[in-house]
Amino acid sequence: MRVLLVEDHNESREVLARLMRHWGFEVTTAETLARAVESLGTNFDAIISDISLPDGSGYALVSEAKRKKPETLAIALSGYSSPMDIEIGKLAGFDHHLTKPFDSAEIRSLLRQPRQPGSAAS
């Protein structure tokens, strides 16, 4: 599985990327919206993205990614956890919303779940 991990906090990004590689995933990282959008030319199975990025939002990234490939699994990692934040994320195309600090086992489980074409989970 190919995963795009978008996180502006360097240490968090590198630790999570290393962990996902250990689990057997192929991981590409980006620290900004611009770099993540540039990476969308690659065929990713999943995107894990922070909502607040230095030059934009994960909402914009996931909207663009889902426009190009609707079946892409999209997981939000965010400090924002209100019901409104979660609803905005769903409208943008996120399938799941994990609040920081998150449980890495939950990310692993979400990435390993079988996906049905066109399915979205909460």
Residue-level pLDDT at 116: 54
With CA atoms as reference, report the closest residue to 115 among 81, 75, 83, 88: 75
pLDDT tens-place string over residues 11-61? 999 999 999 999 999 999 999 999 999 999 888 999 999 999 999 999 999
- Rounded mean pLDDT of 92-116? 89
Tell me how far apart the alpha carbons of residues 42 and 53 are, in angstroms, rounded to a whole number: 20
Q: How confident is the model at residue 100 (pLDDT cuts 50, 70, 90)?
A: confident
Q: Which residues pair with 49 in a beta bridge?
A: 6, 76
Which of the four CATH numbers 3.30.465.10, 3.90.1170.10, 3.40.50.2300, 3.10.50.30 does domain 9-112 have? Answer: 3.40.50.2300
- Burial class (CB within 10 angstroms; exposed 0-12, middle 13-18, buried 19+) of 28: middle
Q: How confident is the model at residue 80 (pLDDT cuts 50, 70, 90)?
A: confident
- Burial class (CB within 10 angstroms; exposed 0-12, middle 13-18, buried 19+) of 82: exposed
Asked if the model's pLDDT at residue 110 lies above 70, the reply is: yes
pTM confidence score: 0.90
Q: Where are the domains of the chain?
A: 9-112
Residue-level pLDDT at 118: 45
CB 44 within 8 A of CB 2: yes
